[in-house]
């Protein structure tokens, strides 16, 4: 290790520290994904309602099995109850990130969050 | 009809640049064989050659070596004019721009490691901008910034140390 350290000049330490600070400063980017702003509720693939995630609200959507209840609170939304047999969409709990989705397939209802400018809604995943 | 011969003047600098570029191309090819966990994260070993040329012969020759390496390297791995080529070119141009500034810093204080780290960050910054504008037009790419920046720092330091080690003999 020592012979390698001898290759470093005083300014190199400075540059490396600056680099480390830049990496550290960028770490929060790894988890942030922008705020979700809108809950898009669909039945049979057509939009039933678009609720802004600003004020608390409850919405009932009628499907073939009965009513699915969507609950919206500031910054998050969930399926509060659903008549489906396995309750997958209810068990998902609160959705907070843009593009996250809860699908109540038996009742033909879905709840998806989208970002502030509706941006990115065209992508399921990214690959290159 | 008389056969005409065109004589090309070859200077010592030309030969030197060709020799260094050949070394850089070999490193590029060798590196292409190393699997990468994430596209864009690779050691960039060829930059060691750039750093050495920069230190010994100045920025102009370093730029020649780097651009020749990008061109010939992409031809050899079959990436010429493909996205990979434009990414290397963007990264190379931006890191050369940064090296033009970094190489003016006092050498007693800032050695090859400084050059290497600065150029690694410039490289990845240029590539990220190109990726965002062209290949993945979505802000999602920026989630990976910490990974790319971390790799730039790590490989920047390692490459810089290797270059410094190779240059050590002539101090």
pLDDT band at B141 (very low <50, low <70, confident <90, very high): confident
Distance in Å, alpha carbon of B58 to nearest chain A alpha carbon:
19
B82 in contact with A, Cβ within 8 Å: no
ipTM of the complex: 0.86
Query: Is the Cβ pair A22, B150 closer than 8 Å?
Result: no
pLDDT of residue B130: 93
The architecture of the domain spanning B12-168 is: Orthogonal Bundle (1.10)
Distance in Å, alpha carbon of A101 to nearest chain B alpha carbon:
17
pLDDT band at B39 (very low <50, low <70, confident <90, very high): confident
List of domains in chain A: 36-115 (2.60.320.10)
Chain A residue with CA closest to B150: the answer is A23
pLDDT of residue B136: 77
Please give the full DSSP string across chain A, using - where no structure is assigned. -HHHHTT--HHHHHHHHHHHHHHHHHGGGGT----EEEEEEEETTEEEEEEETTS-EEEEEE-SSSEEEEEEETTEEEEEE---SS-HHHHT--B-STT-EEEEGGGTEEEEEEETTSTTTT-S----
pLDDT of residue B151: 94
Q: What average pLDDT score do residues B145-165 get?
A: 94
User: Which stretches of chain A drop beneath a pLDDT of 50?
Assistant: 118, 120-121
pLDDT over threshold 60, residue B1: yes
pLDDT of residue A123: 60
Q: Which chain B positions have a beta carbon within 8 Å of A23's beta carbon?
A: 146, 149-150, 153
Encode chain B in three state secondary structure.
CCCCCCCCCCCHHHHHHHHHHHHHHHHHHHHHCCCCCCCCCCCCCHHHHHHHHHHHHCHHHHHHHHHHHHHHHHHHCCCCCCHHHHHHHHHHHHHHHHHHHHCCCCCCCCCHHHHHHHHHHHHHHHHHHHHHHHHCCCHHHHHHHHHHHHHHHHHHHHHHHHHHHHHHCCC
């Amino acid at each position: 290790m020592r012979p390698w350290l001898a290759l470093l000049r005083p300014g190199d330490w400075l540059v490396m520290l600056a680099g480390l600070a830049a990496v550290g400063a960028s770490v929060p980017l790894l988890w942030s994904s922008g705020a979700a702003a809108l809950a898009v509720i669909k039945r049979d693939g057509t939009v039933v309602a678009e609720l802004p995630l600003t004020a608390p609200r409850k919405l009932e959507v009628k499907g073939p099995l009965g009513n699915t209840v969507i609950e919206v609170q500031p910054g998050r939304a969930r399926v509060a109850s659903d008549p489906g047999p396995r309750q997958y969409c209810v068990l998902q709990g609160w959705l907070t990130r843009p593009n996250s989705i809860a699908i109540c397939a038996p009742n033909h209802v879905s709840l998806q969050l989208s970002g502030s400018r509706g941006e990115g809604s065209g992508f399921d995943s990214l690959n290159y | 009809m008389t056969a005409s011969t065109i004589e090309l003047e070859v200077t010592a600098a030309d030969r030197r640049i060709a020799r260094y570029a050949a070394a850089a191309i070999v490193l590029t090819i060798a590196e292409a064989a190393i699997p990468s966990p994430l596209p864009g994260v690779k050691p960039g070993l060829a930059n060691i050659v750039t750093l050495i040329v920069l230190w010994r012969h100045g920025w102009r020759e370093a730029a020649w070596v780097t651009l020749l390496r990008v061109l010939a390297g992409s031809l050899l791995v079959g990436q010429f004019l493909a996205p990979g080529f434009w990414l290397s070119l963007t990264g190379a141009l931006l890191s050369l721009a940064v090296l033009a500034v970094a190489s003016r810093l006092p050498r007693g204080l800032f050695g090859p490691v400084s050059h290497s780290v600065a150029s690694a960050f410039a490289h990845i910054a240029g590539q990220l901008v190109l990726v965002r504008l062209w290949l993945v037009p979505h802000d999602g790419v920026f989630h990976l910034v910490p990974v790319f920046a971390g790799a730039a720092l790590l490989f920047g330091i390692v490459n810089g140390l290797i270059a410094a080690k190779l240059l050590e003999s002539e101090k």
